[in-house]
Amino acid sequence: MIEISNSFFCAVFWQRLKRNPLALAGGCVVLLLFVVSLLAPVIAPVDPNTIEAWQVLSPPSLQHWFGTDELGRDVLSRVIFGARISLKVGFVAVGIAVSIGTVVGLVSGYYGGVMDTILMRLVDIMLCFPAFFLILAVITFLEPSIWYIMMIIGLTSWMGVARMVRAETLSIREMDYITAARCIGCSDLRIIFRHILPNALSPVLVSATLGIAGAILTESALSFLGIGVQPPTPSWGNILTSGKDYIEFAWWLSLFPGLSILITVLAYNLLGEGIRDALDPRVNR
């Protein structure tokens, strides 16, 4: 019965999602980015750190489609490998944020009372600090590292997820099947993770999709400022950093990584909006 219900839900969700061409376009771009990231060593024309001194700041050509940088490195190869870094940061950071936010929201919404008050005041305190400046302050005291960046972005972006999960939990815990589960002696943990969590995941899925775009933007901004992913590891942000000094005569150094960030963030936002509409029965009647 559960398998039939899940299959029916997936079929309805897919039918609704197909009606949104922008969401499908975003999904195709996201899928393409996955393929490019996985096959980067095969797709990239050359190693992203290979220096060709005789090709310094060469414009786009048949040999180097995106041109070369100030060290003669192929920009296309660096953009392709930079996609790996951006997606890794996005997924790991959002994974941390969703995990923390989901647990906090479930506990706060299910138990209520003093526990709810304490956790929600913690959320309010965290929201008082501008996330980007908090990340800058923390990274200042740490060695620049992609792992630190992923952890810090995740630890400073879970509050929205916590609020959404709490709101869903407050509604679900009053349902008849939750009362029935209590009556037959189910433990709180079983009720929370077996009965409430699966029914509270819809807003989490939307938040995670949109959060990946935000995490990619944050990582790119940190790398652009020189405190994110450190050279020679290619990331879209530090490629932009190297391009700002040559923007007057080497426009390709800023154009192609900038377009990569724009297209990626737009694709995740379109996909997230499409998923939200597909999961909302008020939008699809």
**What is the mean predicted confidence (pLDDT) over 123-135?**
81
**What is the mean predicted confidence (pLDDT) over 51-80?**
86
DSSP β-bridge partners for residue 68: 74
Is residue 83 a contact partner of residue 33, using CB atoms and an 8 Å limit?
Answer: yes
* Nearest-angstrom CA–CA distance, 61 and 212: 33
Tell whether the model's pLDDT for residue 124 goes beyond 80: yes
Q: In this predicted model, which residue has the larger pLDDT, 151 or 280?
A: 151
**What is the mean predicted confidence (pLDDT) over 122-150?**
80
Q: Which domains does the chain have, with CATH numbers?
A: 2-279 (1.10.3720.10)
Q: In this predicted model, which residue has the larger pLDDT, 22 or 134?
A: 22
Q: Report which of 220, 232, 85 is spatially closest to residue 147, judged by C-alpha positions.
A: 85
- pLDDT above 90 covers a percentage of the chain that reads 15
Tell whether the model's pLDDT for residue 109 goes beyond 80: yes
pLDDT confidence tier of residue 29, bands split at 50, 70 and 90 = very high
Tell whether the model's pLDDT for residue 262 goes beyond 60: yes
Q: How many residues does the chain have?
A: 285
Tell whether the model's pLDDT for residue 100 goes beyond 90: yes
User: If you average pLDDT over every residue of the chain, what do you get?
Assistant: 84
Q: Write out pLDDT tens, residues 175-210.
A: 888 888 888 888 888 888 888 888 888 788 888 888
Q: Which residues contact 28 (CB under 8 A, 6 or more apart)?
A: none
What pLDDT sits at residue 2?
40
Q: What is the pTM of this model?
A: 0.84
Tell whether the model's pLDDT for residue 150 goes beyond 60: yes
